[in-house]
């Protein structure tokens, strides 16, 4: 080894603080422990998270999903609200895998930054553990990566990975959906984590104040409301045995998500006047001069999750959900060359 020009450089000199990473692990251990499930075989700090399916499933199917929170992160940084963005991360993954009837089992996160700030990272992971508790899944592992040069100081990015399971015979794949089945919609908490590049563009061109009042709610609060997690509602609805299909209203909005679970040869008609659109969407449309068609293919418009059920089963499923779940549309035969998704009314 040539030591003539030895500089004494360390990893810290290159911008990576191993001690801070170790300190973060110690800070979050009590938070992660709150998400533990009995099937979990490992603790935080190992090379891989271990989870045993046990004997509860006879013929298990694993369902997995991965996602992030998009440019909502930039708004979180601007407002210095880091404690709920982790809920968004969990929700975006979990809401996708429960569409097929899976029970969420475990979650892993990836936190990348330019320079590790212990308080910010702890707040983010606290949100992730809050989301896991809401979803009933264990946070069994993750990765924290400092990458100076890729991210500037103060910047960070998130990704999540979720796994669930269900019996093969209980798989909800939409194959039993028929014409005249009804679409039941349940409310979102706001834009969730979709469309934030457009939202930020509206904020930019209007110079809107985030403390502006939207009729009882501040604009910043409406935009930062954490994504709703629908595991409880799905569990309750599935117990009726009457759910034919489900859809998470995520990127692509109402226009593109419900039709994903509807068989070929069928389309859907959505009654745009069947629910009250929250003020934040009206504000975005008006201030951004965004056409209704564009709003519907970008945002959830106040409907975060949809159940597809036979008309005769609507009262039973609505009662099981225990909250307002109006009929927002129907499945219809699809006519050749016609759009598969049509909006009726307002």
Express each pLDDT in 133-185 by its tens digit.
999 999 999 999 999 999 998 899 999 999 999 999 999 999 999 999 999 99
Q: Pick the more confident residue, 4 or 30.
A: 30
What is the separation of C-alpha 128 from the centre of its chain, rounded to a whole number of angstroms? Answer: 11
Strands (E), the chain: 60-67, 103-113, 138-146, 156-167, 182-187, 243-248, 266-271, 303-309, 327-333, 341-344
pLDDT at 331: 97
For tokens 């606290």, the residue is 126
CATH number reported for the structural domain that contains residue 289 in this entry? 3.90.650.10
**Does residue 50 belong to any structural domain of this protein?**
no
pLDDT at 6 over 70: no
**222 and 273 belong to one structural domain:** yes
pLDDT at 327: 98
Across 236-245, b (16+ Cβ under 10 Å) vs e yields ebbebebbbb
For tokens 């708004």, the residue is 75
Domain boundaries, position 318: 182-344
Express each pLDDT in 184-243 by its tens digit.
999 999 999 999 999 999 999 999 999 999 988 999 999 999 999 999 999 999 999 999
Could you tell me the pTM of the whole model?
0.93
**138 and 267 belong to one structural domain:** no
Percent residues over pLDDT 70 in the chain: 98
pLDDT at 259 over 70: yes
Across 249-288, b (16+ Cβ under 10 Å) vs e yields bbbbbbbbbbbebbeeebbbebbbebbebbbbbebbbeeb
What band does 4 get if pLDDT is binned at 50, 70 and 90? low
**125 and 229 belong to one structural domain:** no
Q: Pick the more confident residue, 85 or 24.
A: 85
**259 and 316 belong to one structural domain:** yes
What is the separation of C-alpha 6 from the centre of its chain, rounded to a whole number of angstroms? Answer: 49
């Amino acid at each position: 080894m040539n030591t003539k020009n030895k500089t004494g450089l360390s990893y810290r000199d290159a911008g990576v603080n191993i001690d801070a990473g170790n300190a973060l692990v110690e800070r979050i251990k009590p938070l992660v422990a709150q998400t533990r499930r009995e099937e979990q075989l490992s603790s935080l700090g190992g090379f891989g998270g271990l989870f045993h399916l046990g004997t509860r499933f006879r013929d298990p199917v694993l369902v997995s999903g991965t996602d992030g929170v998009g440019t909502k992160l930039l708004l979180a940084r601007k407002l210095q609200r880091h404690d709920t963005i982790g809920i968004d991360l969990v929700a975006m993954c979990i809401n996708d895998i429960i569409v097929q009837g899976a029970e969420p089992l475990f979650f892993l996160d990836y936190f990348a930054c330019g320079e590790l700030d212990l308080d910010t990272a702890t707040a983010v992971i606290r949100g992730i553990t809050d989301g896991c508790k809401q979803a009933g899944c264990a946070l069994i592992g993750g990765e924290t990566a400092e990458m100076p040069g890729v991210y500037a100081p103060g910047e960070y990015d998130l990704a999540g990975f979720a796994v669930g399971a269900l019996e093969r015979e209980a798989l909800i794949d939409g194959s039993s959906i028929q014409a005249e089945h009804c679409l039941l919609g349940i409310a979102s908490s706001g834009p969730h984590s979709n469309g934030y590049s457009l939202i930020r563009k509206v904020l930019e061109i209007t110079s809107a104040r985030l403390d502006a009042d939207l009729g009882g709610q501040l604009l910043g609060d409406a935009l930062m409301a954490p994504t709703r997690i629908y595991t409880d509602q799905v569990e309750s609805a599935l117990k009726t045995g009457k759910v034919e299909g489900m859809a998470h209203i995520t990127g692509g909005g109402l226009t593109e998500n419900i039709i994903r679970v509807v068989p070929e040869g069928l389309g859907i008609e959505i009654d745009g006047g069947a629910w009250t659109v929250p003020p934040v969407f009206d504000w975005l449309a008006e201030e951004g001069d965004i056409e209704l068609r564009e709003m519907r293919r970008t945002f959830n418009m106040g409907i975060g999750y949809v159940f597809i059920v036979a008309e005769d089963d609507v009262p039973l499923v609505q009662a099981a959900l225990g909250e307002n779940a109006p009929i927002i549309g129907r499945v219809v035969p699809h006519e050749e060359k016609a759009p598969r998704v049509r909006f009726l009314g307002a």
